[in-house]
Amino acid sequence: MTIQTNNLTKVFTQGSKKIYAVNNINLSISKGESIAITGKSGSGKTTLLSLLAGLDSCTSGEINILHKNITHMNEKDLAKFRANNIGIIFQKFHLLPHLTALENVTLPLEISNSSNVLNKAKEALDLVGLSDRLGHLPRQLSGGENQRVAIARAIVNKPPILFADEPSGNLDQETGEQVMDLIFQLTQSINMSLVLVTHDQPLAMKCQRQVTISNGLID
């Protein structure tokens, strides 16, 4: 199993009220599998994603990723773990605005102390079809192009797992579809697991499996 959760729970307290954003979720994702997490706004799908990606800590339960229990990892170890094993794509791209496309993609390689950094980054940008845009800053690129840079950044380290949070949410339909196709195509070709958070039903259908969340529970 690539990802395995046991009774994963996340509770927020709002005054005296307890809100179960993620409630006792047991989920397993195998290698190369693509899974869509769908649900309405506020259903808890984004919270679940941030728990799975190690961006947030759970209240109870546990998560195993690549046979490693990350539940109680400290921030420092989590960061190192993310650098080597996880790629993330955000709805708002979250590129560093002062860095060129190439530099943004180089970043994870530098962080994980890889060798042959430049070639790998160029390769990744080539894969997303931006080999002619290496020196451009995010503000000089269109939304779709920005998201493609973000994809390149997420996959450049060839992590076993890719998380995507509404990757087409900020793009028009056509561009969104192109981007999604690219993501599917890339994850399949490298045999990556893909966890996609979306409320777009047709898009979710493209994944091998679909999990719908409402009120923090799997339907």
Partner 1 sequence: MKLLKYFIFQLLNNKSFTILFILNLSFGLSSFVTLDIFKHSINKSIKKRSKVFLGADLGVSARRAITKEESNLISEASTEIHSSTKLIEVFSMVVGPNEQSKLVQIKAVDNNFPFYGQIEIKDKNNSISNGQIKTLNNKKIAWLYPELIAQLNVRIGENIKVGNTSFTVQAIITNDNAEGVSTSMAPRLYIGYDHIQDTGLLQFGSVVWYSQLYHLPRLNDLELNNLKISLKKQIPSTDLKFYTHESVSEQSSRLLKYLNDFLGLVAIAALFLAAIGGAFLFRSYLNKQIHIFGIFLSLGMTLKSIMLYQAVQLLILGLIGSSISILFGYLLIPILNSITADLIPFTIIKQLEPNTIILILLLGCAGALLIGLPLITQLIGLKPNLLFSSKTQNNLNRNKWFWLSLIPGFLFLWSLSIWQSHSFKTGTLFTILFLASGLLLSILAALFMYFISKIKIKKYLGLQWAIRDISRFKITSISIFLSIGLGMLLLNLIPQIKASINYELTMPHDSKLPSFFIFDIQEEQLSTLKKISSHFDITLQQTSPMVRARLKTINYQNYSELQITESVSTREQERQQRSRNRGYNLSYRLGLGTGESLHKGKLINSSFDENSGKLPEISVEKRFAARLGIKINDVLEFDIQGVSIKGKIVNIRKVKWTTFQPNFFIQFQPGVLEIAPKTYLSSVPKISNTMKNELQNKIVKAIPNASIIDVSRLVKKLKDIIEQMGLALQFMTIICLIAGFLVLFSIANYQARQRSSDIAILKVLGSSFTTIRSYFLWMFTLLSILSGLFGISICFIFSYIISKLLFDSKWVFDIYTPALSLIGLLIISILITFIAINQFLNTKASSLLDNE
Q: Please give the residue ranges that form the binding site for partner 1 (CB under 8 A).
A: 41, 46-47, 49-50, 55-57, 75-76, 79-84, 86, 88, 90-99, 103, 107-108, 110-113, 138-139, 142-143, 146, 153, 165-166, 170
What is the smallest separation between the CB atom of 122 and partner 1, expressed in angstroms? 18
Task: Rank residues 19 and 55 by Cβ distance to partner 1 and give the closer one.
Answer: 55
Task: Rank residues 86 and 204 by Cβ distance to partner 1 and give the closer one.
Answer: 86
Task: Rank residues 51 and 182 by Cβ distance to partner 1 and give the closer one.
Answer: 51
Task: Rank residues 90 and 184 by Cβ distance to partner 1 and give the closer one.
Answer: 90
What is the smallest separation between the CB atom of 203 and partner 1, expressed in angstroms? 17
Helix (H) or strand (E) holding 105: helix 101-111
What is the smallest separation between the CB atom of 88 and partner 1, expressed in angstroms? 6
What is the smallest separation between the CB atom of 146 and partner 1, expressed in angstroms? 7
Residue 84 CA, distance from chain mean position: 14
Q: Which residues lie below 8 Å from residue 70, measured CB to CB, with a gap of 6+?
A: 54, 63, 64, 78, 81
Nearest CA among 77, 8, 82 for reference residue 48: 8
Task: Rank residues 16 and 74 by Cβ distance to partner 1 and give the closer one.
Answer: 74
Residue 67 CA, distance from chain mean position: 19
Helix (H) or strand (E) holding 58: none
Q: What burial class does residue 157 get, using C-beta atoms within 10 Å of its C-beta: 0-12 exposed, 13-18 middle, 19+ buried?
A: buried
- In the chain, the amino acid numbered 191 is N
What is the smallest separation between the CB atom of 30 and partner 1, expressed in angstroms? 23
Q: Which two tokens stand for residue 136?
A: 């451009």
Task: Rank residues 127 and 144 by Cβ distance to partner 1 and give the closer one.
Answer: 144
Q: Which two tokens stand for residue 95?
A: 């590129």
Q: Which residues lie below 8 Å from residue 30, measured CB to CB, with a gap of 6+?
A: 1, 2, 193
What is the smallest separation between the CB atom of 111 and partner 1, expressed in angstroms? 5
